[in-house]
Amino acid sequence: MLESFDYAQLNPEAKQYLADVRRINGRGAPGIYQAVSDKRPYWALGVGICVLPLFLWIGYTSTKAPWATALLQTAGILLGGWLIWFGIRRWVVNTENFGGYFYYFDADHAFIGSGARLSLARIPPDAEVVPKGPLALRISTEMDEFRVPVPSRPFADQVADYYHALAWVRDREDGPFFDLDIDEAGAVAKYMAEENQAPPNVTEADLRIDSTTDLIRPKGNPKSGVMNLLIWFGIAAAAYAVFMSTNGIFQDNMAFANARDNLGKNSQDKVTGGQGLRDYLLNERNTRNREEAKQLLAKLYDPPIAAVKGNPDSDPQLRDGMIALLESLRSPETPAVSISVTDTNSTGTSYERGLRSRFADGLATAIGKDLIVFGEAPTDKPALLKIVYETDTSGKLTWTVEIRVKPDDSTVYKSSGVVAGFINNPFQAAQFNVGTVELETSETDSRAEAIYAAVMMKMMGTAPAKPPVVTNDDW
């Protein structure tokens, strides 16, 4: 029967015999030989070369915790490293432990080399060898029957012819082939299988090497693999330790570099990139570039603060309040500012909510959308930016603005004013005050724009226009 064991278990004489057969590619050997190519090492090498850097790249570019990315990279080292080793070991491995890939049948044995493994079957003189299907031989004896795989049907036919010729040579009782030794008989049988005729004499059979019929046997026990496992475990432990110590540094530097490189200007010429710096600072693992990131984030507020300070038409109270509010946003925390807009003539309408959004969009555009975000004020605390307006009975449109740095701050920056040049119809205004009549849409829009423009100019010195509305006709 066919047995499989480590090539390293072969005794030295058997290894030398098979090495000689492979060296001369079977020519002059006392048996039928065919070398085969194995594509697996090439595939393994190619996949390993791709897998190893891919896992390393994923680990280094991930924002996961260093221990998690270290595990992923260690897995890449083990998988990719093993595949690469599987691909190159045929060229660098000790030939004492690697037999190559081949099929070889001599007078007494069938050999199948599979790299570091060898399959061996003993074939007694009375064995019947016949092809069985396209890729196998059936070997039958009085005591046993088994199959041996072969690379092709023509090779199976040639091997079957070889053993048929070998039986014929062994049965000779006279002539040039009488009483030949096993190697000579094998050489003559090989000649007959290849040439379909017997050689004129033994010399013509071209025997160049002798077999080791009685010496081919496995020795000792196969390697347990414990040492290899320990080696791979050591590689894994070392790789994990290296990645754990370097991933944090690499991720920190990469996150800071990305945040720094994203600093730029948007289409309104306002500085952007604050969110990237805040993301870096909010990650507690990022410590190497923290101070520089804080400085860069703080500097982003210099242009809008300078613009507020340089506004000649600003209200002093609102100017100081807006500067104090922007100064408080230089920190890594989310730059959230609560805002409320109240119409004392008609509280709680969608009109108020629309105007609140108008102020939020305009301030974000003027300051920088990465530098300030607005939200609705909580019900139990005052908004940091509180805007109240009303239309009195004479038709005048007045406004009041309060600015706080914190909801519970005792310091409140407050100012009021009248929207110059805007007077509603007094009769309509009086009715509007008691909630019996609402202004037409055109009037409410113009009133909202008047309030927005007046307050923004007093706070910021600019009143960014609404973004254009894109309709289907514009495409």
Let me know: does 115 contact 22? Beta carbons within 8 Å.
Answer: no
Predicted pLDDT at 275: 84
Single-letter code of the amino acid located at 225: G
Within 10 A of 108 (CB to CB), how many other CB atoms are there?
21
d(CA 241, CA 77): 13
pTM higher than 0.85, yes or no? Answer: no
Nearest in space to 401 (alpha carbons), one of 445, 444, 451: 451
C-alpha angle 363-368-370 in degrees, rounded to nearest 5: 120
Hunting for tokens 């038409």 — which residue is that?
A: 313
Six-digit token string for 114: 């599979």
Let me know: does 83 contact 47? Beta carbons within 8 Å.
Answer: yes
Predicted pLDDT at 429: 40
Predicted pLDDT at 338: 93
Predicted pLDDT at 213: 57
Predicted pLDDT at 436: 30
d(CA 338, CA 402): 12
Predicted pLDDT at 433: 38
Six-digit token string for 423: 């007077």
Let me know: does 103 contact 118? Beta carbons within 8 Å.
Answer: no
Predicted pLDDT at 430: 39
Average pLDDT per block of 10 residues along the chain, 475 residues long: 84 87 91 88 89 89 85 91 82 72 92 89 90 92 89 94 93 87 91 91 86 62 71 89 87 87 62 80 88 90 90 88 92 90 71 85 89 88 91 81 90 88 49 36 66 89 72 48
